[in-house]
A and B are shown apart, each in its own frame.
Chain A
Amino acid sequence: MKVTIDGIEIDVPKGTTILQAARMIGHEVAPPTMCYYSKLKTSGGYCRTCLVKVTQGSAANPNPMPKPVASCRTEVMEGMVVQNVTSPDILEARKGVVEFLLLNHPLDCPVCDQAGECDLQDLSYGHGTEKSRLEFKKREYEVIDIGNKIKLHMNRCIHCYRCVKVAEQLTDGRVHGMMHRGDASEITTYIENVIENDFSGNVIDVCPVGALTDKTFRFKQRVWFTKPVDAHRDCKKCKGNVRLWYKGEDILRVTGRKDEWGEVEDFICNECRFDKKKTSDWVIEGPTKVNRHSVISQNHYTHLNELKVQIMKQQKALGFMKIDKRP
């Protein structure tokens, strides 16, 4: 099926959603997502950040769709024409969505452990406005311990349902979910039940904001002061491919490996995540490649090595002579 997104044509198989097609093209046209997670079935459709404009429904019916559509839930049609960043309407609509998401989200980034790798932070920097028009008090909840390893800050939750889907699809018994409706809805374990499951820790990784955070990493360091290293170990329960976050010699936390879309490649078990925090437990593969513009690469200077090679190549291409060979 041929589909055009922001003027770029791509051939995709039937059943692909607009979002997946856009991701196949690349970062420039892919809409941001807060609730959609490609590894979790039936995720998506809650947050509306991935709105796109369909200017031509299909080759057979070239009428535009009347409203912006959620690209994560809309399948492509033959000859569909989609506008994402090229449509000012969509950028305006997304601005509104970000404002809605931030309505009840506290501005506690200086305290929050997710700051630096928070999807909502990136989204509001990229698409949001500087000021909120909210004149009322934000809703407030108590901070809850879910078991002794996970902390739930309900204030920060944006109701993306990712953690609920993880519990449903990865573990054999979901004990937490969304209670109440509308503005009052909250993720809860019903009378603070403990989530005890080998894969429950993955809710930390899928949470796009700092609502579910690692208690063993709580306030240890800001993420940009830690150094990510890829490592693996033989694990009976999971694949054992993880990312270790070092500060000096110490492993401060263990997470799954996130890909370019911020989604973990393989879900990892709680043993790998919480109990193996010594370098001797792991086989180190090497430092994680971090985007130079990411805050994680701040003060790490590893990109300078690449830059040095680039400069040397450039100089060679320009025909500069070596210093000792000059007349």
Chain B
Amino acid sequence: MKLTNRSKVVSNKVMSTSEKIYLPEIIKGMLITGSHLFKRRATVKYPDELRPMAPVYRGQHVLKRDENGAERCTSCGMCAVACPAEAITMESGERKKGEEHLYREEKYARIYEINMLRCIFCGLCEEACPKEAIFLTDRLVDVEFEREDFIYGKDKLVEKIDKRIDVTKRQTIEVAEFKKIPGTKHNTLWNGKKIKGH
């Protein structure tokens, strides 16, 4: 009885004598293998040699600070609600007087955690962020021994004030226009070719 119309009848053809020897097929296979000895290698010697990364590679997140060094994140929760993997959690705090240099707005993220095991690096948090605070970078997430260590808090996510992380490549034309930054070129780094849609 047919269950679906996609089923196929399996043929059980008997092999001829020349096929039974396998010799021609083995020679064919060895030639293919041999030819690869003279071709360019497909692999690289990883830790010594690094593959080139796209400028908009989606790796470990960064929480940016603004030009005065204050955290941009205002804990609005848009990234967490956009996150399809529900990897982001946060708790807000209220900025006190005298903390203006630390946090840009009156509300800030007291706790901000991304579970890197849950994260699928889709970049929707970056897209949802209204404050240009979270970006994915071309850094890889480190390997850890414990599951807990993959839950990145603010200590790992917020960029260090003396070690800023450059994300200018990731800011799109729309963003630049929105913020009216004159003379900046964005997403035009692919060998001078413009990316489709920009």
Contact = CB atoms under 8 A, between A and B. Distances in A.
Interface of A: 108-111, 115, 218-222, 224-225, 295, 298-299, 327
Given A111-B105, A298-B81, A327-B1, 16 more contacts: A110-B76, A110-B78, A110-B105, A110-B130, A110-B131, A111-B107, A218-B94, A219-B75, A219-B93, A219-B94, A220-B92, A221-B91, A221-B92, A222-B76, A224-B77, A295-B81
Contacts of B80: 225
B1 A111 contact: no
Given A225-B80, A327-B1, A111 B86 contact: no
A134 to B, nearest CB: 15
Main secondary structure of the interface of A (DSSP, over half): loop
Contacts of A225: 77, 80-81
Nearest to B106: A111
Main secondary structure of the interface of B (DSSP, over half): loop
B131 A299 contact: no
Given A225-B80, A298-B81, A327-B1, A110 B92 contact: no
A108 B77 CA distance: 13
A108 B104 CA distance: 12
Contacts of A298: 81
Contacts of B131: 110
Given A219-B107, A299-B81, A327-B1, A109 B76 contact: yes
Interface residues of B, number: 18
B60 interface: no
Nearest to A108: B105
Nearest to A224: B81
Give the residue among A115, A222, A224, A225 with the most B Cβ atoms within 10 A.
Answer: A222
Nearest to A219: B92
B100 to A, nearest CB: 14
B65 to A, nearest CB: 17
6 contacts: A110-B78, A110-B105, A110-B130, A110-B131, A111-B76, A224-B77
Given A109-B76, A219-B92, A219-B94, A299 B107 contact: no
A221 B1 CA distance: 59
A183 to B, nearest CB: 24
Per CB-CB distance, the 5 closest pairs between chain A and chain B, nearest first, are A110-B76, A222-B77, A219-B92, A111-B107, A110-B74
Interface in B58-96: 74-78, 80-81, 86, 91-94
A124 to B, nearest CB: 15
